Structure 1
Amino acid sequence: MFVPVEGGDLAVEIHDGDTPPVLAIHGVSGSRKLWNWVAAHQFSLVAPDLRGRGDSHTVPGAGISRHADDMVRVLDALDLTSVTVCGMSMGGYVAVDLAVRYPERLRALVLVDGGLPMAAHAAMTDELLTAAFAPQVAARERTWTADEYLTVQATLNPLIDATDPLIRDYFAHDLTEDGHLRLPADTLVADAKDVIFGTSRWRELTVPTWFVHAEWSTGPDTPPAYTVEQAAAFAAALPVLREPVLINEVDHGGTVMTRAGAAVTGEVLADALK
């Protein structure tokens, strides 16, 4: 379905399952297809393509609060007064903003490797961020076949299964019919800057919150976005935060884009739905 928001219509996919509805918010360079693996566990998901992504790629604009306002429009369009919200990576930051500004719309909150301050962000500068995103920006200057794009992504993400049809579906959704990447470079960078340099209001959370984090960041043995010690410190500082759950032997994307990671994330989500 398509939901009117400022600047256009937001694409929203509905996964029918056996649970109350969950609003599922993807990450900075992702799309609604990120939730394919979690949906396979029979969750009822409301999964939007955020503005600038997937079938919402023609909707201009960026910013965590703007995405959160869009999520309210999605809930209103579906007559959903209050739901459990699950956000992965940047989607976690959108979910936190949503929970702080519209707490009455959330029954519970699940954050997947995002939403809480990352230590690496404190050392980031504009110059470092520009350099970090240079390959992604350059990728938007050429055309791709689905096979070419999948091959590159499999190289960059060594833990994904390139033979998994859900992986192919996920990455194919990044491309327009003529082979260009749908997500504009300026939107990608603007959202990344808002996550990294923006002010998180996580300490203001009042809804029951669960936190899932990965052992690695971008492949085996890479430093994680959150260490076990950092996750424990967040739980000690935030009364509404349940005991954090570590997913072993997965990286950031693998928390939801691998069957093993999605199984653990699904267990936590099922707990939150109770």
Structure 2
Amino acid sequence: MRVPVDGGDLAVEVHEGDTAPVLAIHGVSGSRKLWNWVAAHNFTLVTPDLRGRGDSHELTGATIKQHADDMVRVLDALQLDKATVTGMSMGGYVGVDLAVRYPDRVRALVLVDGGLPMAAHAQLTEEMLTAVLAPQLAARQRTWTVDEYLAVHATLNPLTDVTDPRTREYYAHDLTPDGHLRLSAETLAADTRDVVFGQSRWQELTVPTWFVHAEWSTGPDSAPAYTVEQAAAFAAELDALHEPVLINEVDHGGTVMTTAGAAVTAEVLAEALK
């Protein structure tokens, strides 16, 4: 479906399941197809393509705050006064902003390896961030077949199961019919800077909140985005935050894009829905 928002409209997919609706928000370079692994657990998921991605790639003007405002419009369009919300990576930061500014619309919040301050962000400078973004921006300058694009990401994400049809569907959704990336350079850069250099309002959360995090960041034995000690410190500081849940032997993307990771995330989401 298409949902009217400021400046245009947003593409939204609804996965019908046997739960109350869950608004699921993807990460900075992802799309709504990120949630296919979780949807397999029979959740009713509302999954938008955020501005600048997928079927919403022509819609610009992104900030974390704007994404959160867009999510309110999605809830309105589906006549949902309140919903459980989950966000992965940057989607977690959007979920935090949504829950802080619109607490009456969020009954519970599940953050998946995002939404809380990452220690690594404090070490980044503008120059370093530009270098980090360079490969993704360069990828927009050429055309891809799905197989070529999938092969590159399989190398970058060694835990990805390229034989899983959901993996192919996820990466195919990034491409136009003629092989260009459906990812706005302007939006990618703006959102990344907002996450890295912006101020998360996580300490203002009042809705019941769960935090799921990965053992690794990119591939086996890589340093995680959040350590166990950091996650515990967040829970000690924030009354609304339940005991964090560590997913062993998965990396950042694997929290939702692997069978094992999605199963743990689904368990936590089921708990939040109660």
Q: Is TM > 0.5 for Structure 1 vs Structure 2?
A: yes
Asked if 1:79 is matched to 2:79, the reply is: yes
State the TM-score, normalized to the length of structure 2.
1.00
Deviations 1:81-125 (A, max 9, x none): 000000000000000000000000011000000000000000111
Separation (CA, whole Å) in 2 of partners of 1:28 and 1:14: 20
TM-superposition CA deviations, 1:115-139 (whole Å, max 9, x none): 0000000011100000011111100
Which residue of structure 2 lines up, in the alignment, with residue 134 of structure 1?
134
Say if 2:265 is the partner of 1:273.
Answer: no
- In structure 1, the partner of 2:12 is 12
Helix, strand or coil for the counterpart of 1:14?
Answer: strand
Which consecutive unaligned segments of at least 5 residues does structure 1 have?
none
Q: What's the CA shift string for 1:8-54, capped at 9, x where partnerless?
A: 11000000001000000000000000000000000000000001111
Whole-Å separation in 2 of the counterparts to 1:66 and 1:236: 30
CA distance in 2, matches of 1:96, 1:171: 27
Report the alpha carbon displacement of residue 7 of structure 1 after superposing the two structures with TM. Answer: 1.3
Give, in whole Å, the separation in 2 of the partners of 1:14 and 1:198. Answer: 30
Q: Deviations over 1:123-156 (max 9, x none)?
A: 1110000001111110010000011000001010
Name the structure 2 match of 1:58: 58
Q: Partner letter of residue 248 of structure 2?
A: N
Letter matched to residue 265 of structure 2: T
Q: What is aligned with 2:45?
A: 45
Mapping of residues 180-259 of structure 1, within 5 Å:
180-259=180-259
Give 1:174's aligned residue.
174
- Farther-moved stretch of structure 1 (2-11 vs 225-234): 2-11
Q: Secondary structure at the match of 1:142?
A: coil
Runs of 4+ in 1 over 2 A off after TM superposition: none
The corresponding residue for 2:143 is 143
* Partner residue, 1:88: 88
DSSP-derived class of the 1:166 partner: helix
DSSP 3-state at the match of 1:192: helix
Percent same amino acid among aligned pairs?
79
Gaps in structure 2 of 5+ consecutive residues:
none
2:154 is equivalent to residue 154 of structure 1: yes
Separation in 1 of the partners of 2:184 and 2:269? 31
In structure 1, the partner of 2:30 is: 30
Distance in 1, matches of 2:145 and 2:10, equals 25
Report the equivalent of 2:108: 108
The one-letter code of the counterpart of 2:219 is G
CA displacement at 1:184 relative to structure 2: 1.5
- Residues 58 and 184 in structure 2, CA contact (< 8 A), matched pair in contact too: no
Kindly tell me the number of residue pairs found equivalent between the two proteins.
Answer: 274
Could you tell me how far apart the structure 2 residues matched to 1:60 and 1:129 are? 21
Distance 1:92 1:106 in 2: 13
What's the TM-score once normalised by structure 1's chain length? 1.00
